[in-house]
Amino acid sequence: MSTKQPTHTRQAELVAAALALAGERSPATVTTAELAQAVGITQGAVFRHFESKEAVWLAVMDHVSETLLTRLRDAGAAHAQPLQALRAVFMAHVDFVVEHPGVPRLIFQELQQPQDTPLKARVRRLMHEYRLLLTHWLQQAQDQQALQPGTDLQAAAVLFIGSVQGLVMQSLLSGQVGAMRAQAPAVFELLQQAVAVACQPKMCQETP
């Protein structure tokens, strides 16, 4: 067994282990014994850092939310033109899923539960923050007259997220998560055609 580590260090290690195991199979089948083995501690020690297995998954979702949203904001902020920012956000989300396939497995599994749960509430909060981020860039695109007149921004945000989720679901079914990267540009192009005006350099491209 490894030497004693501070609680925050062990918690981070257990979160990383849970994400890695969820990337291999259904999160529902991951046991605390497996988490302990992955980190190099006893099963009892897991409960010194988290009060329950549910608490581990809540910490996973908090980590995912912070990491994903930061990555998406940074991706969008790197581009001056809103349509380019949206494309960067789309690709950043795809890259995140390819790197962490356990995340959609955890989310899809939880959303299938009929009852409300703390983890489901975390997922709803993540989706709310995501929609706000998308609406920000869509509003900028609309202000620059880069979107079709009368475009419903909330519906456009739903279409954006649904396009990513469709790619994710298809990749999980095929078992080839990495294929998303090759398919994503064409999917975003179709999405852009649905809401954007005819592409003009000042709207769709970065200026040299």
**Residue 165 pLDDT greater than 90, yes or no:** yes
- pLDDT for 22 equals 94
Class of residue 122 by CB neighbours under 10 A (exposed 0-12, middle 13-18, buried 19+): buried
- pLDDT for 203 equals 47
- Higher-confidence residue: 20 or 6? 20
Q: What's the pLDDT band for 3 if we cut at 50, 70, 90?
A: low
Q: What's the pLDDT band for 8 if we cut at 50, 70, 90?
A: confident
Q: Do 18 and 29 form a contact (C-beta atoms < 8 A)?
A: no
- 85-140 tens-digit pLDDT: 999 999 999 999 999 999 999 998 888 888 899 999 999 999 999 999 999 999 99
- pLDDT for 62 equals 96
User: Which domains, and CATH codes, for the chain?
Assistant: 1-51 (1.10.10.60), 54-204 (1.10.357.10)
pTM of the entire structure? 0.89
Average pLDDT of span 166-195:
93
- pLDDT for 174 equals 87
Closest by CA to 8, choosing from 50, 42, 41, is: 50
Interatomic CA distance for residues 73 and 83, integer angstroms: 14
Q: What's the pLDDT band for 1 if we cut at 50, 70, 90?
A: very low
- 45-70 tens-digit pLDDT: 999 999 999 999 999 999 999 999 99
3-state secondary structure of 55: helix
Centroid of chain to Cα 30? 21
**Residue 145 pLDDT greater than 60, yes or no:** yes
- pLDDT for 6 equals 78
Average pLDDT of span 182-186:
96
The chain-wide mean pLDDT, for the chain, equals: 91
- pLDDT for 206 equals 47
Percent of the chain with pLDDT over 70: 93
b/e 35-49 (16+ beta carbons within 10 angstroms → b): bbebbebeeebbeeb
